[in-house]
Amino acid sequence: MESASKTKYIFVTGGVTSSLGKGIISASLAKLLQARGYSVTIQKLDPYINIDPGTLNPYEHGECYVTDDGAETDLDLGHYERFLNTTTSQANNVTTGRIYQSVINKERKGEYLGETVQVVPHITDEIKHCIKILGETKNYDFVITEIGGTVGDIESLPYIEAIRQLKYELGKDSLVIHLTLVPYLSAAKELKTKPTQHSVKTMLEHGVQPDVLVCRTEKNLNQSLKDKIALFCNVDTSSVIESIDTSSIYKVPLLMKDEELDKVVLKKLNLDPHKKPDLSNWKIFLHRLENPKSIVHIGLVGKYVELVDAYKSIIESLIHSGTNNECEVKLKLIHSEQINEKNIKGKLKDLSGIIVAPGFGDRGIDGKILTAEYARKNKIPFFGICLGMQCAVVEFARNVLKLKDAHSTEMNKNTSHPVIDIMEEQKKVSVKGGTMRLGAYQCDIDPKSKTFSIYNQKHISERHRHRYEFNNNYLDDFEKMGMKASGINPDAHLVEIVEIVDHPWFVGVQFHPEYKSTVANPHPLFNSFVKASLNFINK
Ligand code: GLN
């Protein structure tokens, strides 16, 4: 193992536009440093006022990613975990809302008694504390802090100011990577550096000189362009790193290695840049990703299909498991609101496996329930995740147990058969933020179930995010008719996994396996589901 004598802090900021992929660049650099033996963590600071993204609509913010410790976080944390195969926690995602909440709580307790509480130094001190706490408590060699948003935004200002102060305090133990866009103007047939120059000027106005520029581009930057950017932005040419568009986010670590981003960073932080990163397993993964032996068509039924970010972790998990099965998963996103009894066959007939997505509220619920019925009757591999599992339970109750108006009380409070019901401890909850059943819970698997043969383990831990749960009053009836509870929480006796015994692959999980799939460790349920889908085509 390599080790840096002191924690080094790397700040990643963005300029010109949002969506340049700061999260992927941060995760890729972290991967390269980890592959050299360093311990690395990545943190995201989000400049919005929500305490966390848990209360945000997926249309606003994409998926809400959940950590083991039950933090509802930005989806970039999913990338960090998937790239590094290490877990993140509440401390890895901080928002302006959380910063202000903490400062205001301190003010009320009298901790600043007599002082005027101000953005500088109180808010900036709190930001600096949230950054340094990761290095101080866990002794990481590197803490990479990604600042959400774009420099120049009003709401980013306190963060850039905190970085200015930290750079001054930490000196050679810190650096700033600024990610910008070098657009190609097709009419002029030219790449343009001006937006990058302006973006660096904005940083300079706030007193921060970026040390490394990562330039996102759709065409290669030639040497003279790199020289020009270096000249105008006060960096050496070797610190101008090209980040060209690529077909897979998983190629970015290798692109960054070719561009020597890791070496430049190590040199600037006075660490040895000579040792080569060991990326052998990563390369095996990429080789398999790029050379699939077959194709499998899987459908994802949800209500946010126009927005792939809403299902980011599920989509990535399928990429990991497709690669694990040496096949390409061609994913068809199907809008649950557009599924009805008449068209369902047309929409689902070419699929070898179907996932019903997690979600909240009743929009599109009937399409999800119909999908579960179609997969059950046609023996198509079916994977219901959280709300998807609940839909499978409702469908089974209605059509197999013949409980005609069975439903979840989330959708119908007055159902005579609440087969999915609000959890006891949720009944008293009225506050929305951070109050669901969140984070990792234990689950015991029945050794006689199919699920056991998938996990090969009796005790597992998976991450949750829900308020409703299988109603145990109905469990015997379900089991008699062939839907079995194959995973139970040992403390609360909640049903966490159901399976249909007489079906090639029909599993519903109350938890979110997609939060735990990584490149190094694709999730066993996704692996097995993709394998079953491959078998379905072969048949
Ligand atoms: N809405 C459901 C519940 O709260 C399912 C949540 C989910 O799919 N994450 O129980």
pTM, entire model: 0.96
Q: Which of 467, 494, 496, 512 to mutate to test the pocket of ligand 1 (most atoms within 8 A of CB)?
A: 467
Please determine, for residue 364, whether its predicted confidence score (pLDDT) is greater than 90: yes
Please determine, for residue 343, whether its predicted confidence score (pLDDT) is greater than 90: yes
The model's pLDDT over 30-50, given as tens digits with 9 standing for 90+, comes to 999 999 999 999 999 999 999
463 C-beta closer than 6 A to ligand 1: no
426 alpha-carbon distance from chain centroid:
26
Identify whether the C-beta of residue 495 lies closer than 8 Å to the C-beta of residue 472: yes
Please tell me the distance between residue 468's alpha carbon and the centre of ligand 1 in angstroms: 6
The whole-number pLDDT of residue 18 equals 86
The whole-number pLDDT of residue 286 equals 98
Q: Which of 387, 391, 422, 437 to mutate to test the pocket of ligand 1 (most atoms within 8 A of CB)?
A: 387
The model's pLDDT over 252-309, given as tens digits with 9 standing for 90+, comes to 999 999 999 999 999 999 999 988 899 999 999 999 999 999 999 999 999 998 888 9
Please tell me the distance between residue 410's alpha carbon and the centre of ligand 1 in angstroms: 9
Rounded Cα–Cα distance for residues 81 and 73 (Å): 12
Catalytic annotation, residues: 386, 512, 514
Q: Please compute the mean of the pLDDT values over residues 221-225 and round it to a whole number.
A: 95
Rounded Cα–Cα distance for residues 59 and 148 (Å): 17
387 C-beta closer than 6 A to ligand 1: yes
Rounded Cα–Cα distance for residues 447 and 444 (Å): 9
Please tell me the distance between residue 442's alpha carbon and the centre of ligand 1 in angstroms: 18
368 C-beta closer than 6 A to ligand 1: no
Please tell me the distance between residue 360's alpha carbon and the centre of ligand 1 in angstroms: 5
The whole-number pLDDT of residue 539 equals 66
Atom of ligand 1 nearest to the CA of 359: 8
pLDDT confidence band for 246 (50 / 70 / 90):
very high
Please determine, for residue 424, whether its predicted confidence score (pLDDT) is greater than 90: no
Residue nearest to atom 6 of ligand 1 (CA): 466
The model's pLDDT over 9-19, given as tens digits with 9 standing for 90+, comes to 999 999 988 88
Rounded Cα–Cα distance for residues 61 and 55 (Å): 10
Burial of 274 (0-12, 13-18, 19+ CB in 10 A): exposed
Structure token pair of residue 513: 């396996």
Rounded Cα–Cα distance for residues 325 and 84 (Å): 21
For every residue of 62-115, DSSP letters joined together read -PPEE-TT--EE-THHHHHHHHH-----GGGEEEHHHHHHHHHHHHHHTTTTTS
Atom of ligand 1 nearest to the CA of 361: 1
Please tell me the distance between residue 403's alpha carbon and the centre of ligand 1 in angstroms: 22
Mean pLDDT score of the chain: 96
Residue nearest to atom 3 of ligand 1 (CA): 466
Please tell me the distance between residue 539's alpha carbon and the centre of ligand 1 in angstroms: 34
The whole-number pLDDT of residue 1 equals 62
The model's pLDDT over 484-508, given as tens digits with 9 standing for 90+, comes to 999 999 999 999 999 999 999 999 9
58 C-beta closer than 6 A to ligand 1: no
Please tell me the distance between residue 479's alpha carbon and the centre of ligand 1 in angstroms: 23
| % pLDDT > 70, the chain | 99
The model's pLDDT over 191-214, given as tens digits with 9 standing for 90+, comes to 999 999 999 999 999 999 999 999
The whole-number pLDDT of residue 306 equals 83
Question: Look-up: residue for tokens 């619920």?
Answer: 365
Pairing of strands 418-422, 8-14: unpaired
The model's pLDDT over 377-406, given as tens digits with 9 standing for 90+, comes to 999 999 999 999 999 999 999 999 999 999
Burial of 97 (0-12, 13-18, 19+ CB in 10 A): middle
Rounded Cα–Cα distance for residues 112 and 290 (Å): 57
Structure token pair of residue 391: 């839909």
Please determine, for residue 5, whether its predicted confidence score (pLDDT) is greater than 80: no
Q: Please compute the mean of the pLDDT values over residues 510-517 and round it to a whole number.
A: 98
Please tell me the distance between residue 407's alpha carbon and the centre of ligand 1 in angstroms: 13
Structure token pair of residue 67: 């950590």
Q: Which of 468, 469, 509, 514 to mutate to test the pocket of ligand 1 (most atoms within 8 A of CB)?
A: 468
Rounded Cα–Cα distance for residues 479 and 497 (Å): 13
358 C-beta closer than 6 A to ligand 1: yes
Structure token pair of residue 160: 């850039």
Cis amide linkage into residue 121, ω under 30° from 0: yes
410 C-beta closer than 6 A to ligand 1: yes
Q: Which of 410, 420, 462 to mutate to test the pocket of ligand 1 (most atoms within 8 A of CB)?
A: 410
508 C-beta closer than 6 A to ligand 1: no
The whole-number pLDDT of residue 493 equals 95
